[in-house]
């Protein structure tokens, strides 16, 4: 022990006590999904506070020289059985009574009981030091190490800080209408029972308007249940904002809804407002389920396996390499589904998983913040099979598993989700998101982090050819743009079961008028061929500026493929807006084929004898004056183009010559002028002798310049970044790190000035690289959405593995018997090679 004490004394200066703001990773390994519950436990560096599993701690010790680690291991305790299951007399688990997480009455955050063992381990010999051992060591060693151990154990881990540990869905704001609410003296008195809707005689889900005392039914739910919207219609007609749900009134309060604020609210004067219509809160009893109870019932059902079972079949659980489930971290099913599919694509496998040792060897000192490392970690976790194991039984002798059939231990991608979502207004939250938007967000991050070397997102990248024909001159214009997803329209007027839909609508209207329960909804059946026909139809442009006519006129635009990617992603445009601008989801069934031939949609370019529209800029967007002034360019469009890797001056020209008409038009200009000899030369306007970017009038902040230069960049590089981002420091720093290849090629002189902006100083960089080949594909995966909006509901994915369809529903991985290919949202095809 004396030898161990000496070792501890020698490394004492490297042992730190966590301070506020330190990131402590004591729940998850930085390079794998090992945790204190895993075999071998977790080793937390007592200097950097990074956690490492037993297979990676030696690597960190060798690279960092750090010797002292806090080893944490946890063993699950066997929980007490519920009374209803065992008859042991222990109280059963309480059902939630509040729409909340982690507080009394709310949903239980799964707090499993563990026996925990903690000790210090000294590398490379793995000498172990327990708390009891410390008691025999010198005071300095004992106090310093004990303090560090206690600090690490009490510190909140990063994953804990990111997780929603406590949430109360019943916290309601006070309505702005409550205090000054005007109540009509119309003599209305509400009886204590026997209520009916004044319009349809419905006797449940009734709301009394607090302004006039009139009683109407509530909203109709997405499944046809609920009311008939008469309370809402009354608000729209009268503007009376507040209503109370009859049957929820008790001495403790009631459900109050503000139609104007579109939310459940608090009414501090509710007793007074109810008394106005003869209702005494102190004598009322609850007879209806509150909105909270209704939401709780929904939340309890959402996680049930039966909700997404196929035709009620008992699905066979699967496990092994490539069959690993992912834990839902709180509405993270969109992320889980997308990443499961992406790591079925060979490009992502070879980029991140095949090279994982090289990636880990080259990882920075804090791998938790490195994009490539965390993506590789996730990919290996999904494909290796190490975490594809059935969820453990709750304890010895238990007859039933605590998890539904099909659940796995799986992986919890907390570190990955935090890194991918950092700084994003939506993906950094625990709200539900659109899987298509997340896919594009992730592809954009891959693009930014693969500016040199192999880029796996090229598997999805393709060129779109747009042919615009001026109807006045009959001259054409060809442009190309980059895309990653084919958006497929849904022509509802092409439904094959129109008569059935009309009959269902007729029955629904009859039910509305009679107050009868609504009939079962009927799903529209849309042929896939009709969707493809709608995609290829020419589009009429009514406000097209024709360079031939030098005026605005009508044109037709036809869209075709200029290249076919290795993998084609198709998004069915199910989500739209109604005439009242309320988002809605089209309930449709589309006979999506297993094989797809897009050959007929390949673009052919300029036709023989076809005249092109002259390349003349639209009227300049500049202030008319005696002296020609620099145009006002859309900086956000310029910045977007720069982030795609194009030269700054080319991006400025693109925005100028397309008249600030948006990113698509500017991108088309770029693709059509990449071969111009002056593509990347400074933009020179008519009547000026130099580019606007080089005039003294376009100044940058000296303070911002100094900040960026202090980071190791030249003054010219800093100037370029600030000009590309409208002089915003935060955006400039982000821009400069995403354009390192361009900046490193700038020739810097001793004085810190660069010649890169001089005309012809270097070759223009190549544009986006695309692959091309036959347009024949086969379906290998699809992502489905359940719910009324992309902002709510649930996502699952089906992936074809070894000719067997597999359903991935978060932690549940099972063989699919009847994959619902007609109800998908995102479809993934791969090229069929002859």
pLDDT in tens, 323-372: 999 998 878 899 999 999 999 999 999 999 999 999 999 999 999 999 99
Q: Is the pLDDT of residue 64 over 50?
A: yes
Contact partners, residue 673, CB within 8 Å, separation at least 6: 650, 653, 654, 679
By three-state DSSP, how is residue 706 classified? helix
By three-state DSSP, how is residue 290 classified? coil
572 pLDDT tier (thresholds 50, 70, 90): very high
Contact partners, residue 430, CB within 8 Å, separation at least 6: 164, 329, 330, 331, 332
Catalytic residue among 230, 794, 797, 814: 794
Residue 760 confidence (pLDDT): 34
Q: Is the pLDDT of residue 178 over 50?
A: yes
Q: Is the pLDDT of residue 586 over 90?
A: no
Beta bridge partners of 570: 486, 827
Q: Is the pLDDT of residue 621 over 50?
A: no
- Each residue of 551-561: pLDDT tens digit? 889 999 999 99
Catalytic residue among 333, 642, 797, 814: 333
Q: At what angle do helices 715-724 and 729-737 cross, to 10 degrees?
A: 110
Distances (CA, A) of 667 to 351, 457, 465, 545, 684: 28, 19, 12, 17, 20
- The whole-angstrom separation of Cα 588 and Cα 787 is 13
- Each residue of 463-481: pLDDT tens digit? 999 999 999 999 999 988 8
Q: Token pair for residue 208?
A: 């009394």
Query: What's the mean pLDDT in 649-655?
Result: 85
Q: Residue with structure tokens 């770029």?
A: 670
**Are 672 and 605 spatial neighbours (Cβ–Cβ below 8 Å)?**
no
Distances (CA, A) of 213 to 36, 259, 277, 641: 60, 15, 6, 58
By three-state DSSP, how is residue 480 classified? strand
**Are 791 and 333 spatial neighbours (Cβ–Cβ below 8 Å)?**
no
- The whole-angstrom separation of Cα 232 and Cα 242 is 10
Residue 263 confidence (pLDDT): 83
Distances (CA, A) of 500 to 514, 678, 724: 21, 62, 57
Q: How many other C-beta atoms can be found within 10 angstroms of the C-beta atom of residue 702? A: 8
397 pLDDT tier (thresholds 50, 70, 90): very low
3-state secondary structure 112-137: CCEEEEEEEEECCCCEEECHHHHCCC
Q: How many other C-beta atoms can be found within 10 angstroms of the C-beta atom of residue 427? A: 20
Q: Token pair for residue 71?
A: 């080893």
Select the highest-mean-pLDDT range: 302-306, 461-465, 508-512.
461-465
Contact partners, residue 13, CB within 8 Å, separation at least 6: none
112 pLDDT tier (thresholds 50, 70, 90): low
Q: Token pair for residue 455?
A: 């880029």
**Are 347 and 459 spatial neighbours (Cβ–Cβ below 8 Å)?**
yes
Residue 392 confidence (pLDDT): 67
How large is the C-alpha radius of gyration of the chain? 32
Residue 455 confidence (pLDDT): 92
Mean per-residue pLDDT of the chain: 80
Q: How many other C-beta atoms can be found within 10 angstroms of the C-beta atom of residue 329? A: 21
The phi and psi torsions of 65 (rounded to 5 degrees) equal 80, 0
- Each residue of 213-233: pLDDT tens digit? 999 998 875 445 678 889 999
Q: Token pair for residue 661?
A: 């008409």
**Are 198 and 187 spatial neighbours (Cβ–Cβ below 8 Å)?**
no
Residue 204 confidence (pLDDT): 86
- The whole-angstrom separation of Cα 30 and Cα 21 is 18
Q: Is the pLDDT of residue 752 over 70?
A: no
Q: Is the pLDDT of residue 391 over 80?
A: no
Residue 576 confidence (pLDDT): 74
By three-state DSSP, how is residue 309 classified? coil
441 is catalytic: no
H/E element holding 142? helix 139-154
Contact partners, residue 793, CB within 8 Å, separation at least 6: 432, 785, 786, 787
What's the count of helices (H) and strands (E) in the chain, helices before strands? 24, 28
DSSP 351: I
- Each residue of 768-781: pLDDT tens digit? 688 999 999 999 99
Q: Which of the pair, 138 or 760, is modelled with greater confidence?
A: 138
Residue 18, preceding peptide bond in cis (omega within 30° of 0):
no
- Each residue of 676-688: pLDDT tens digit? 666 777 776 544 4
Contact partners, residue 124, CB within 8 Å, separation at least 6: 58, 61, 67
618 pLDDT tier (thresholds 50, 70, 90): low
pTM of the predicted protein model: 0.68
Q: Which of the pair, 303 or 194, is modelled with greater confidence?
A: 194
- The whole-angstrom separation of Cα 530 and Cα 588 is 13
């Amino acid at each position: 022990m004396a030898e161990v004490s000496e070792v501890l004394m020698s490394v004492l200066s490297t042992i730190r006590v966590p301070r506020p703001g330190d990131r402590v990773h004591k729940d998850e390994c930085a390079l794998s999904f090992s945790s204190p519950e895993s075999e071998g436990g977790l080793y937390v560096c007592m200097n950097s506070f990074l956690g490492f599993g037993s297979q990676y701690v030696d690597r960190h010790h060798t690279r960092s020289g750090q010797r002292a680690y806090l080893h944490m291991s946890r063993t699950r305790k066997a929980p007490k059985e519920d009374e209803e299951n065992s008859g042991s007399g222990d109280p059963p688990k309480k059902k939630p009574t509040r729409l909340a997480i982690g507080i009394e009455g709310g949903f239980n955050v799964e707090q499993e009981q563990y026996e925990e063992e903690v000790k210090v381990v000294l590398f490379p010999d793995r000498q172990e030091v327990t708390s009891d051992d410390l008691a025999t060591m010198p005071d300095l060693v004992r106090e310093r190490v004990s303090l560090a151990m206690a600090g690490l154990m009490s510190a909140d881990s990063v994953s804990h800080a990111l997780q929603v540990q406590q949430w109360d869905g019943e916290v309601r704001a006070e309505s702005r209408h409550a205090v000054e609410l005007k109540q009509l003296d119309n003599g209305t008195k509400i009886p204590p029972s026997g209520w009916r809707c004044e319009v349809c005689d419905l006797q449940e889900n009734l709301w009394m308007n607090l302004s006039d005392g009139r009683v109407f039914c509530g909203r109709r739910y997405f499944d046809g249940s609920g009311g008939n919207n008469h309370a809402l219609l009354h608000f729209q007609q009268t503007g009376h904002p507040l209503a109370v749900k009859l049957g929820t009134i008790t001495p403790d309060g009631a459900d109050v809804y503000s139609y104007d604020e579109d939310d459940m609210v608090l009414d501090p004067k509710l007793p007074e407002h109810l008394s106005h219509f003869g209702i005494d809160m102190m004598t009322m009893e609850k007879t209806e389920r509150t909105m909270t109870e209704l939401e709780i019932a929904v939340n309890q059902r959402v996680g049930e396996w039966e909700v997404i079972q196929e035709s009620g079949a008992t699905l066979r659980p699967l496990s092994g390499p490539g069959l690993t489930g992912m834990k839902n971290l709180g509405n993270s099913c969109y992320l889980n589904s997308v990443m499961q599919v992406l790591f079925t694509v060979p490009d992502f496998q070879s980029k991140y998983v095949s090279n994982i040792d090289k990636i880990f060897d080259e990882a920075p000192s804090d791998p938790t913040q490195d994009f490539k490392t965390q993506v590789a970690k996730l990919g290996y976790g999904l494909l290796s099979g190490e975490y594809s194991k059935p969820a453990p039984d709750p304890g010895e002798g238990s007859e039933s598993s605590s998890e539904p059939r099909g659940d796995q231990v799986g992986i919890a991608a907390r570190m990955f989700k935090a890194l991918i979502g950092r700084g994003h207004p939506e993906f950094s939250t625990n709200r539900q998101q659109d899987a298509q938007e997340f896919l594009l967000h992730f592809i954009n991050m891959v693009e930014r982090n693969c500016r040199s070397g192999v880029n796996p997102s090229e598997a999805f990248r393709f060129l779109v050819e747009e042919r615009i024909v001026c109807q006045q001159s009959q001259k054409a214009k060809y442009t190309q743009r980059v895309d990653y997803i084919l958006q497929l329209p849904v022509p509802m007027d092409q439904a094959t079961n129109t008569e059935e839909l009309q009959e269902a609508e007729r029955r629904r209207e009859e039910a509305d008028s009679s107050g009868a329960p609504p009939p079962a909804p009927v799903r529209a059946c849309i042929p896939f061929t009709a969707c493809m026909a709608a995609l290829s139809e020419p589009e009429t442009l009514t406000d097209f500026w024709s360079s031939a006519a030098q005026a605005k006129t009508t044109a037709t635009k036809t869209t075709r493929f200029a290249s076919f990617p290795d993998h084609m992603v198709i998004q069915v445009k199910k989500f739209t807006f109604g005439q009242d601008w309320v988002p809605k989801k089209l309930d449709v069934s589309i006979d999506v084929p297993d094989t797809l031939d897009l050959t007929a949609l390949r673009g052919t370019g300029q036709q023989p004898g076809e005249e092109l529209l002259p390349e003349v800029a639209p009227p300049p967007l500049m202030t008319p004056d005696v002296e020609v002034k620099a145009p006002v360019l859309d900086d956000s469009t310029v910045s977007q183009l720069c982030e795609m890797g194009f030269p700054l001056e080319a991006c400025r020209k693109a925005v100028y010559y397309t008249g600030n008409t948006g990113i698509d038009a500017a991108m088309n200009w770029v693709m059509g002028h990449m071969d111009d000899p002056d593509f990347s030369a400074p933009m020179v306007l008519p009547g000026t002798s130099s580019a606007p970017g080089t005039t003294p009038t376009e100044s940058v902040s000296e303070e911002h310049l100094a900040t960026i230069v202090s980071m190791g960049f030249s003054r010219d590089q800093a100037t370029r970044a600030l000009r590309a981002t409208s002089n915003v420091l935060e955006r400039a720093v982000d821009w400069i790190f995403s354009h390192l290849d361009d900046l490193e090629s700038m020739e810097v002189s001793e004085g810190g000035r660069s010649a890169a902006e001089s005309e012809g100083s270097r070759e223009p960089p190549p544009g986006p690289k695309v692959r091309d080949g036959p347009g024949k594909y086969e379906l290998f995966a699809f992502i489905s959405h359940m719910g009324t909006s992309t902002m709510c509901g649930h996502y699952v994915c089906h992936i074809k593995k070894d000719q067997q369809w597999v359903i991935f529903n978060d932690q549940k991985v099972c063989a699919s018997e009847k994959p619902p290919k007609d109800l998908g949202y995102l479809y993934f095809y791969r090229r069929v090679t002859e």
